[in-house]
Amino acid sequence: MLQAGPGRDDCLALILSGGGARAAYQVGVMAAIAELTPQHTPNPFPIICGTSAGAINALALATHAGNLHSAVESMLEVWSEFRSHHVMRTDWPGLLAQAWRWSRTNLLGSAAGEATTALLDNRPLRRLLEARMRFGCIEEALQAGQLRAISVSAFDYRSSQSVYFYQGRERITPWRRHRRIGVQTRLGLDHLMASTAIPLLFPPVLLNRAWYGDGAVRQQSPLSPALHLGANKVLVIGVTHHGQTPAAGQPGPVLQTPAPPSLAQLGGHLLHSTFIDNLETDLEQLERMNRLAAYQPFAMRSGDHGVRHVDVLVISPSEPVDLIAARHRAALPAGLRLFLRGSGATRSSGSDLLSYLLFEAEYCNELIALGRRDALAQADDLRRFLGFAETGAGTTHGQL
């Protein structure tokens, strides 16, 4: 953890990255944070920023900002009982109908009927969010001072830029940078559906006369909305394991020519580059800026023209998430398993792609348990970072 700068009023932000089903890990981390706080503790994060599935978790926290434990219990209720049919059509009629629409549009070039560029039908997710999310509670939390701002990111296909839709307690000046802008608005269901619309897998969403897709697409600076909204402390919950990689130029022995990568392997790498790589690069850049801030004159540190020091704490999986997904690939519904079989997603080599799409309770609960363990392993750092007294421990959630 980076050390705090002197003499500042801290404004803490929570960053929840995208990652499809991997976002269950974030719920486990939040459950651990709730354990470290007394009952009836309000939301400790004045600023919450979410992308893709992380946007769903972000708004779930924002709509229960008055009570952190209530927010976590609501998230656990959904994620611990998740099934793929809550997110997408998994029945044979639904899968075949979507496959026919996709083939008619993209292979036969026919515009008749309902055209689509999506391989999967995610209307069940819309119905779930519509039933569960109480969007009006966000404004109530803002007016009550329980939140400063909440941000959801999406990708504008027309302008090829990231758009950060945010709702704030007061007027917050919008920003415009290279291929990213901030837009103050009242958040709703379409913003969530747009942020979670993984390209090719889920359909884009029409919003304000523009088509939007997953917020992680070409997201060059995932930390920027939190900083623009006023944060100087950032808790980042990642969804990928930072394990050791083979040393460059030292590959293992090759006994035979390997098979070419499957479609699932290619898809897994593309999703990694979408959801993960930019966040890691942005964190490295922030660390460099923090080192630079330490060398600037003291008088500039509190001014508008100096380099701001931003404290960062990162919690990410201590185990490879793809290996966890591989253990639970049999939990996929039979129809969806056969639908994905040709791509290689149901083989061990395709577990990267599977780790994003496996919305099944067995897999999600293991990620929740892992997130809880990883966060509690950093309990002392979390207490100091969040400003909680060590005596303020809450109750343990039995579901985990």
The model's pLDDT over 305-321, given as tens digits with 9 standing for 90+, comes to 556 778 889 999 999 99
In a domain, 392, yes or no: no
In a domain, 68, yes or no: yes
pTM of the model: 0.84
Q: What is the mean pLDDT of residues 112-129?
A: 84
Angle (CA) 219-221-222 rounded to 5° is: 75
Amino acid at 292: L
In a domain, 259, yes or no: no
52 has catalytic annotation? yes
Q: Are 59 and 150 in contact (CB under 8 A)?
A: yes
pLDDT tens digits, 14-32: 999 888 899 999 999 999 9
As a whole number of angstroms, the distance between CA 226 and CA 305 comes to: 18
Residue 64 has pLDDT above 90, yes or no: yes
Q: What is the mean pLDDT of residues 163-173?
A: 94
Q: Are 354 and 345 in contact (CB under 8 A)?
A: yes
278 or 239, greater pLDDT: 239
The share of the chain scoring above pLDDT 90, in percent, equals 51
Structure tokens at 290: 């923090």
Q: What is the mean pLDDT of residues 123-149?
A: 95
Residue 399 has pLDDT above 80, yes or no: no
Residue 272 has pLDDT above 80, yes or no: no
pLDDT tens digits, 73-103: 999 999 999 999 999 998 888 888 888 887 8
Amino acid at 289: M
121 or 344, greater pLDDT: 121
pLDDT of residue 263: 64
Three-state SS annotation for 91-157 = CHHHHHHHHHHHHHHHCCCCCCCCCCCCCCCCHHHHHHHHHHCCCHHHHHHHHCCCCCEEEEEEEEC
Lowest model confidence (mean pLDDT) among 144-148, 156-160, 385-389: 385-389
As a whole number of angstroms, the distance between CA 59 and CA 307 comes to: 30
Please give the mean pLDDT across all residues of the chain. 82
Q: What is the mean pLDDT of residues 125-146?
A: 94
Q: Which residues pair with 233 in a beta bridge?
A: 12, 311
Q: How big is the chain, counted in residues?
A: 400
pLDDT of residue 208: 87
277 has catalytic annotation? no
Q: Which of 85, 203, 64 is nearest to 134 (CA)?
A: 64
Angle (CA) 122-123-125 rounded to 5° is: 70
Structure tokens at 180: 């990213």
Residue 68 has pLDDT above 90, yes or no: yes
pLDDT of residue 299: 54
In a domain, 380, yes or no: yes
In a domain, 254, yes or no: no
Range of 207's domain? 12-242+269-386
Q: Which of 13, 22, 20, 19 is nearest to 368 (CA)?
A: 22
Residue 141 has pLDDT above 70, yes or no: yes
In a domain, 323, yes or no: yes
As a whole number of angstroms, the distance between CA 400 and CA 397 comes to: 6
11 CB neighbour count, 10 Å cutoff: 17
Q: What is the mean pLDDT of residues 375-393?
A: 80
In a domain, 214, yes or no: yes
156, 214, 311, 322: which one is catalytic?
214
As a whole number of angstroms, the distance between CA 333 and CA 338 comes to: 9
In a domain, 393, yes or no: no
As a whole number of angstroms, the distance between CA 122 and CA 125 comes to: 5
Which of the four pLDDT bands, split at 50, 70 and 90, describes residue 301?
Answer: low
CATH of the domain at 24: 3.40.1090
Which of the four pLDDT bands, split at 50, 70 and 90, describes residue 66?
Answer: very high
Cα–Cα separations (whole angstroms), residue 263 to 142, 270, 296, 351, 362:
45, 10, 49, 12, 25
Q: For the chain, what is the domain count?
A: 1
